[in-house]
Amino acid sequence: MLPLNQMGLPAIETTRLTLRPWSLDDIDAMHRVWTDPQVRRFLWDDEVISRQRAATTVESAVATASQTGIGFWCVLLKPNNPLAGFCGFRLIEGTADFELLYGLLPEFWGRGLASEACYAALDYAFKSGGLTRVYARADTPNQASVRVMERLGMRFERETRLASLPTLIYSVTAQDLLVP
């Protein structure tokens, strides 16, 4: 079920972050994040994506967010708002289920920012009126991502293979969501 919000994504403020909905002006910034060697290792299975692929991804997500109220945010660190990364949601291929995705540039790792951003996004998704369960997937070696999911109250569901890689699947409901 899609959320009732048909007006696109709101900006979200947390103690340390501003989550700003993606716009078409974010293509180059997202391309820089996604091609960082440490970020792409798990998000793009170490593929160096083209700027065109980044553009297609952002354009599609912006259109979906404007229609459904579910999509992606740029994660900006207060007070000067440098881009730390992104977080948000997409439909899992071939299902009606939503997946939480997130990534931060390495200089922002280890400060709890991913947990803070993801909690804000999940809180929005559950309160928007449409999502009852959200999934997240991580390559088995990506234990930092697993720790973020567990801090949020996500529960391990199963291990599978995606693109021939061992992948862990977690999920969370509104009732299980924890403040990190």
Residues 40-76: tens digit of each pLDDT: 998 888 889 999 999 999 999 999 898 888 899 999 9
Q: Which amino acid is at 60?
A: S
Q: Considering the chain, what is the average pLDDT of its residues?
A: 92
| pLDDT of res. 129 | 60
Residue 16 has pLDDT above 60, yes or no: yes
| pLDDT of res. 66 | 87
**pTM to 2 decimals?**
0.92
Residue 1 has pLDDT above 60, yes or no: no
| pLDDT of res. 174 | 94
| pLDDT of res. 4 | 40
| Pure H helices in the chain | 27-35, 37-43, 51-68, 113-127, 143-151
| pLDDT tens profile 71-116 | 999 999 999 999 999 999 998 989 989 999 999 999 999 999 999 9
Residue 173 has pLDDT above 90, yes or no: yes
Lowest mean pLDDT among 8-22, 70-84, 122-136: 122-136
Sheet of strand 165-173, all strands in order from the earlier edge strand to the far edge = 12-13, 17-21, 72-77, 83-91, 98-104, 133-139, 165-173, 155-162
CATH homologous superfamily for the domain 12-173: Gcn5-related N-acetyltransferase (GNAT) (3.40.630.30)
- CA dist 171 → 127, 146, 157 (Å): 17, 11, 7
| pLDDT of res. 69 | 83
